[in-house]
A and B are shown apart, each in its own frame.
Chain A
Amino acid sequence: MDEPRRNLVRWLLGGGLSASLISFLYPAFKFMNPPDVPEASVNEVSAGKVQDLKPNTGKIVKFGSLPVLLVRTTETEWRAFSAVCTHLNCTVQYKESSHQMWCACHNGLYNLNGQVVSGPPPHPLEAYSVHIRGDEVVISRRA
């Protein structure tokens, strides 16, 4: 076999092997590099500081891609519910005057256990757990 041909084979084989190895290893190394968003899932979110929410008020917290209504009923008691109305998916709000959760779209009312008091909603609101860590309020999904 002549020399230039052997060289060609060597080049093709060497070049091809190294190029293909790079094309396999590059994605693998990139994969191992942790992404900027470190958490895979939303099982809990921080809802800010304790002092940011006065007793008998509520606020909407983004939980993943869905809204959650956090309510501070008294100085020490906190509750959280899915803020998606079970009627037509509008966002519910806290009504300070009557201590209820209220959907403005069709006047659905829920009590502070998430159960339907009046109006069109067919199901209760899903409840979430609330924990206080230091002075941080943390909402988590109920297992």
Chain B
Amino acid sequence: MRYAALGLLFAVPLAAADSCIECHSVLEGDLQAPVKAFANDIHARFGFSCTDCHGGNRNETDPEAAMSKARGFVGKIPRTAVPERCARCLSDTGFMEKYKPRQRVDQLAQYRTSMHGKRLAAGDTKVATCIDCHSVHDIREVKDPLSPVHPLRLPETCARCHADQAHMAGYKLPTDQFASYRKSVHWEALAKRGDLSAPSCASCHGNHGAQPPDVESVAAVCGNCHVMMEDLYKNSPHQPVFAAMGAAGCVVCHGNHEIRLPNAGMLAGPNAVCSQCHEATSAGGIAAAEMAHELNRLEKALARSDQILAKAQQSGMEVSEALLRQREGREDLVKAAVAVHAFQTTAVQKPVNEGLAIAAGTYQAGVAALKERSYRRLGLSVSLIAIAITMLGLRLAIRSIEGRSTGNSLRTWK
């Protein structure tokens, strides 16, 4: 153990004397590329070298001896052997403790349960192995923004295969997930707002154990983040029905990859998702229309307040407090949208009414601000009239003085 730690200390200077790197760095093309890439590799940083994966002896200067099959040298590791090759170290708890004590070591076990792993075991070499996602010779930590599995880059990495129609031809899978995902709120949060906690592929499908979530587990997957919605949904009348239908909870209304920002139009109107099952005249259809009405009511009231406050603000009135209150009103609108998942009109009405009270208050503030504006203008005109009268009086006074004193102090001046 102690010697291993010492070895780690001297690993970097030793790597410089590595015969693999020495020879391959003066070669060309494919034979040189791995050496160049390896400089940025996390393994290089911890002192590992080519031979740790490829076998052979890096202290031999003779190529024959260095790449001797007898010493376990494998030039191109077969795809089917890649997971086990990585797992030799990465699934060894004792070994990993020396480098990354907090890292999980069950990647291989998980991989074997995944679609990728199962197909690879069946001899399908087109599926992803470790190196397809993590890259080969410049493997970086997940938190490194240049890593292909960094949250911001993961969707594109999965899409390399999953959006490639030729590659996916044999597998009854669609190839539009990436395009759909890029239209979703999740992509927007991730890529545009840079919110690394927003879900990308692995957040729902898992990473090493990648497979589509079961119908029953969809609500649980979404509920990981959308806690309130899951709670409400679980106790709602929809849950047993969807379960019995074999329909996947959230996905029924929101879709899977292309999850857009929901609006009241999902409840009622020509694009309503409710109308796919509920007749407009049925109890469910009426409830959906009512909830849509409630949401629209609050939305409209807030917009009306926004409008009058903007008008007041444009004419220089100070309405920042009312604008802050408007934020609370918007929060109530969010709460009301969450409450829709109880699928009860009364649940939606509570936050809507709170929001409406706020909107009424802010509207009044806007009205008051505009009233204040007219009051100011009235005051201004009164004082301007007084000023004008005074100026007129002054003018006349000057004329009367100067009319009197002509030829006295003012000689040639009229």
Contacts and interface: CB of A to CB of B under 8 A. Distances in A.
Nearest to B194: A122
A24 B324 contact: no
A105 B331 CA distance: 11
A16 B388 CA distance: 8
Nearest to B199: A120
Contacts of B392: 12, 16
Interface stretch (B27-35, B73-81, B225-233, B255-263): B225-233
B386 A16 contact: yes
Given A1-B404, A104-B227, A119-B197, A89 B393 contact: no
B396 A12 contact: yes
A63 to B, nearest CB: 12
A1 to B, nearest CB: 5
B396 A9 contact: yes
A6 interface: yes
Interface residues of A, number: 32
Contacts of B393: 9, 11-17
B198 interface: yes
Interface string A1-45: 100011011011111110110111001000000000000000000
B195 interface: yes
A11 B400 CA distance: 14
Interface string B327-361: 10001001000100000000000000000000000
Nearest to A27: B379
Interface in B371-403: 379, 382-383, 385-394, 396-397, 400, 403
B176 to A, nearest CB: 27
A64 B214 CA distance: 47
A83 to B, nearest CB: 12
Contact of B321 (A13, A65, A91, A107): A65
B227 A13 contact: no
A27 B379 CA distance: 10
Interface in B241-269: none
Nearest to A65: B324
A90 interface: yes
Contacts of B404: 1
A106 B185 CA distance: 14
A91 B383 contact: no
A13 B228 contact: no
B390 A20 contact: yes
A141 interface: no
Given A12-B396, A13-B397, A91-B331, A23 B225 contact: no
A126 B337 CA distance: 28
A20 B198 contact: no
Interface in B190-238: 195-198, 224-228
A87 interface: yes
Contact of A107 (B225, B324, B327, B391): B225
Nearest to A18: B386
A24 B383 contact: yes
A107 B223 CA distance: 9
B195 A120 contact: yes
A40 to B, nearest CB: 13
A11 B393 CA distance: 8
A90 B335 CA distance: 9
Contact of B225 (A6, A24, A91, A106): A106
A14 B393 CA distance: 8
Nearest to A1: B400
B383 A17 contact: no
A119 B227 CA distance: 11
B321 to A, nearest CB: 7
Contacts of A121: 197
Nearest to A88: B334
A68 to B, nearest CB: 14
Interface of B: 195-198, 224-228, 321, 324-325, 327, 331, 334, 338, 379, 382-383, 385-394, 396-397, 400, 403-404
Given A13-B397, A19-B390, A107-B227, 15 more contacts: A11-B393, A16-B386, A16-B388, A16-B390, A20-B383, A20-B389, A20-B390, A22-B386, A23-B383, A65-B321, A65-B324, A89-B331, A105-B334, A120-B197, A120-B225
12 contacts: A1-B404, A5-B400, A9-B396, A14-B393, A16-B393, A19-B386, A19-B390, A65-B325, A87-B197, A104-B228, A105-B227, A107-B227
